Structure 1
């Protein structure tokens, strides 16, 4: 995860991409499945999703 004040309003993102961690967490909470992320966003890796989940536990 990265935080860049000039990207996505300084919110945490996945590895410099414009995919906000909170967006991933909200979709998972709404019932989205991990394979859906990997299919629709091929630049994502399983470790990216794990990091997002772990950050959600800390926040």
Structure 2
């Protein structure tokens, strides 16, 4: 079995860009923005068309980052 590929090197944090929020490759496009586009139902192709500076691996990096970030949180279910 091959080792999974990580794309986290595409996620950068710089206090002078977007107030230190995680961004895609140092651009002024936050990981949160990419995730919100995906959550809105936009397809990869639609996002890549609208944001020509993005690459498919950037979208996958945002998802990977969110998956790792969500594993550190505890959700409280209210019935």
Band the TM-score falls in, shorter-chain normalisation: over 0.9
* Greater C-alpha Rg: 2
Structure showing the higher helix proportion among its residues: 1
What is aligned with 1:18? 28
**TM-score, scaled to structure 2:** 0.71
Q: Which runs of 5+ in 2 are unaligned?
A: 1-10, 70-79
- CA distance in 2 between partners of 1:33 and 1:5 (Å): 30
Q: Stretches of 4+ moved more than 6 A in 1?
A: none
Cα shift readout 1:3-56 (whole Å, capped 9, x = no counterpart): 000110100000010000011111111211111111011110011010000001
What is aligned with 1:28? 38
Q: Which runs of 5+ in 1 are unaligned?
A: none
Structure showing the higher strand proportion among its residues: 2
**TM-score, scaled to structure 1:** 0.93
- CA distance in 2 between partners of 1:36 and 1:18 (Å): 19
Q: Judge conservation of contact 2:37–2:47 (CA < 8 Å) in 1.
A: no
Is 1:9 the counterpart of 2:19? The answer is yes
